[in-house]
């Protein structure tokens, strides 16, 4: 019985990303001690990671569902989207890759004019399609059913045809050494092509990405010109950003378009 319950808890975490003690008490009608014991067991097995009042999915090889990622830190992602929209001017060309944070950026860009948006994210294309002031081009290739991402060699070859002003790129995890990580090598290949064909790379990631791990390397934080996040996890990571002269915007500090510039490779304006 306890094993079945733990499996159910893990299944819920995979569906929604986070589970709380209160929600599990209601669902399983057991004591708080029983739920805490289940969560401790799952955390000991490195399937979940404890959070205040519950636990979250901890797998480094399996991503949580797209809808769960949409809900995770959704307010922070919207703030990140607004901050990125303040960086990108009208009449710009840009890549937007797969991810719920990059989707939030696309939503924040809907009132811009005369953008050329090249994306391998069907959700981004769908959001921007009704706004005729902007042009959207979608990459060719295999459509991943889980999230509407376009992946594979065809998408890579398609991206390599362009050289754009900005790349808005997300990652599933950020390592303490600055490595940018993801789960699907086919998606990673597309992201690497995007990194190589943009004049200004904007990495977007909420702070939970520092708590996660993923097995495939996209690149390194040093390849970004700007990093937009809700907040940096610690002084060591800020120092790393400063050492690579990455302009950093923390929306928790400046919720609209202000910036914290540790090194200022591109300063506060004059993006090239």
H/E run at residue 86: helix 74-87
> Does the structural domain 68-250 have CATH classification 3.40.50.1360?
yes
2-58: CATH class? mainly alpha
Find the mean pLDDT for residues 155-167.
Answer: 97
List, for residues 165-205, the tens digit of each pLDDT value: 999 999 999 999 999 999 999 999 999 999 999 999 999 99
Q: What percent of the chain has pLDDT over 70?
A: 87
Nearest alpha carbon to residue 191 among 271, 119, 91, 93: 119
Tokens describing residue 250 = 């923390």
Please write the tens of the pLDDT for every residue from 70-105.
666 788 999 999 999 999 999 999 999 999 999 999
- Token digits for 179? 């490595």
Please give the Cα distance from 224 to 227 (Å, whole number). 7
* Cα–Cα distance measured from residue 68 to residue 262, given in angstroms and rounded to the nearest whole number: 33
For the entire predicted model, the pTM comes to 0.74
Question: What per-residue confidence (pLDDT) applies to 65?
Answer: 62
> What's the confidence (pLDDT) of residue 198?
98
| DSSP assignment letter at 8 | H
Q: pLDDT tens, 29-44?
A: 999 999 999 999 888 8
Domain ranges in the chain with CATH number 1.10.10.10: 2-58
Nearest to 183, CA basis, from 63, 15, 64: 63
- CATH 3.40.50.1360 placement within the chain: 68-250
More confident residue, 56 or 25: 25
Is the pLDDT at 234 greater than 50? The verdict is yes
């Amino acid at each position: 019985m306890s094993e079945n319950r733990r499996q159910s808890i893990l299944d819920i975490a995979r569906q929604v990303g986070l589970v709380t003690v209160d929600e599990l008490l209601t669902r399983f009608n057991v004591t708080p001690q029983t739920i805490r014991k289940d969560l401790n067991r799952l955390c000991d097995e490195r399937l979940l990671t404890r959070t205040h009042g519950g636990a979250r999915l901890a797998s480094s090889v399996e991503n949580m569902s797209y809808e769960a990622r949409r809900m995770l830190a959704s307010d922070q992602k919207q703030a990140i989207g607004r901050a990125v929209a303040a960086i990108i001017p009208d009449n710009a060309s840009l890549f937007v890759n797969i991810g719920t944070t990059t989707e939030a950026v696309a939503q924040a860009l809907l009132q811009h004019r005369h953008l050329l948006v090249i994306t391998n994210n069907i959700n981004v294309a769908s959001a921007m399609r009704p706004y005729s002031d902007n042009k959207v081009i979608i990459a060719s290739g295999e459509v991943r059913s889980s999230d509407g991402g376009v992946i594979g060699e065809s998408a890579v070859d398609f991206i390599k045809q362009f050289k754009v002003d900005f790349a808005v790129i997300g990652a599933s995890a950020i390592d303490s050494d600055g490595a940018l990580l993801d789960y699907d090598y086919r998606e990673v290949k597309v992201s690497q092509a995007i990194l190589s064909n943009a004049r200004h790379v904007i990495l977007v990631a909420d702070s939970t990405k520092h708590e996660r791990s993923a097995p495939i390397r996209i690149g390194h934080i040093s390849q970004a010109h700007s990093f937009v996040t809700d907040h940096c996890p610690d002084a060591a990571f800020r120092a790393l950003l400063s050492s690579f002269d990455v302009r950093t915007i923390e929306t928790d500090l400046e919720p609209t378009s202000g910036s914290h510039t540790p090194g200022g490779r591109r300063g506060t304006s004059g993006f090239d």
